[in-house]
Amino acid sequence: MSQSLNRIAAMTARYYYILRSSWLRLLEIVYWPAMQMLVWGFLYTYLYDSKSAMASTAGLLLGAVLLWDVLFRGQLGFTFTFLEEIWSRNLANLMMSPLQPFELAASLMLMSLIRLVIGTLPVLLLTFVLFGFNVFAMGPGLILFFLNLVLTSWAIGLVIAGLVIRQGFGAESLAYSIMIVLLPLCCVYYPVAALPLWLHPVAWSLTPTYVFEGMRAVLLDGSFRTDLMLECLALNAVYLGIGFTTFVALLHSARHKGGLLTMGE
């Protein structure tokens, strides 16, 4: 167990060294969420000031943007940290070391969390200072929203990492594009009721849907939907299990296919 923790710590240190080796990389982590928040923040201000029927939904919009970014950046943090191994042609070194797949996954999760904190905290602060929107007003439920979104992002990251190992660089673009498929289905900016009836089961099979419905319940009704969060946690446990199993299966498949040694060439 202690050897396992030591290897996870070694891998996290390896990713931390990369992160701190370039201030541009650090800046990039904050840059995109901050730019996005500025755009949506100004829209929020406009709607709020307009005193139109839309004014009451302005906070929802900003909350949704913030939480969507947690999901999106969490997955990017996981996947990009993994892609570092491919870009640097280091994967075979890791696969030849005593590092176990679950230890690699754990270090990627840890690094995804670190990158998320680095990217999100300044943006939350910016949102509060510039637009007066305090995301912490959602209460302790925010922690569960955050936790569920991060777990989902890891499950998706594991599948993408597995696909990159199995398919090579051809699967790299999934890192950027896969979340866009989820965006309309997990009801980030509108309630599930806005979707056609036949899409409801699809929406409810996606964990972010529970979080965004929960967020709307908090901001519109002031009620925290514990039932939604518990269902979401259970679903996330299943998806994480599927994600890790898929990652290991694709890694095993890559060992049959060959190419682990030359990956990144």
Partner 1 sequence: MSRIERFLPRRHLTPVSPNATPAQDHAPVSPADDEAPAIAVEDLCKQYRSHWAVDDVNFIVPKGWTVGLLGGNGAGKTTTIAMIMGLIVPSFGRAMVLGHDMATERHKVLGRMNFESPYVALPGRLTVRQNLTVFGRLYGVADLKARIEELIEDFELGDVLDRVTGRLSAGQKTRVAIAKALINDPDVLLLDEPTASLDPDRAEWVRSRLTAYQKRRRATILLSSHNMTEVEQLCDFVVIMSHGRVVAMGRPAELAERFKCRDLDEVFIYLARVA
> C-alpha distances in angstroms, 204 versus 65, 71, 104, 185?
20, 17, 30, 9
**Residue 35 C-beta: closest distance to partner 1, Å:** 25
Between 96 and 193, name the residue whose CB sits nearer to partner 1.
Answer: 96
Interatomic CA distance for residues 168 and 159, integer angstroms:
13
231 binds partner 1 (CB under 8 A): no
Binding-site string for partner 1 from residue 1 to residue 30, where x marks contact by CB under 8 A and - marks none: --x--xx-xxx-xx--xx--xx--------
Residues 6+ apart with CB under 8 A from 102: 244
Q: Which residues, 240 to 259, sit near partner 1 by CB under 8 A?
A: 252, 255-256, 258
Residue from 30, 43, 94, 199 touching partner 1 (CB under 8 A): that is: 94
Between 3 and 205, name the residue whose CB sits nearer to partner 1.
Answer: 3
90 binds partner 1 (CB under 8 A): yes
181 binds partner 1 (CB under 8 A): no
98 binds partner 1 (CB under 8 A): yes
Binding-site string for partner 1 from residue 28 to residue 67, where x marks contact by CB under 8 A and - marks none: ----------------------------------------
Using a CB cutoff of 8 Å and minimum separation of 24, what contacts does 81-87 make? Answer: 81/15, 81/108, 81/111, 81/112, 81/115, 82/108, 82/157, 82/160, 82/161, 82/164, 83/164, 83/172, 83/175, 84/15, 84/18, 86/164, 86/169, 86/172, 86/263, 86/264, 87/264
220 binds partner 1 (CB under 8 A): no
Residue from 89, 194, 220, 226 touching partner 1 (CB under 8 A): that is: 89
Residue from 93, 134, 205, 226 touching partner 1 (CB under 8 A): that is: 93
Read off the tokens for 191: 């309630």
Beta-carbon neighbour count of residue 196 at 10 Å?
7
What is the distance of C-alpha 235 from the center of its chain? 16
**Residue 8 C-beta: closest distance to partner 1, Å:** 10
Scan for tokens 């990009």, then name that residue.
Answer: 80
Residue from 52, 97, 173, 223 touching partner 1 (CB under 8 A): that is: 97
Are the C-beta atoms of 92 and 3 separated by less than 8 Å?
Answer: no
Q: How many residues would you count in the chain?
A: 265
List interacting residues with partner 1 (CB under 8 A). Answer: 3, 6-7, 9-11, 13-14, 17-18, 21-22, 84, 88-90, 92-100, 252, 255-256, 258, 260-262, 264-265
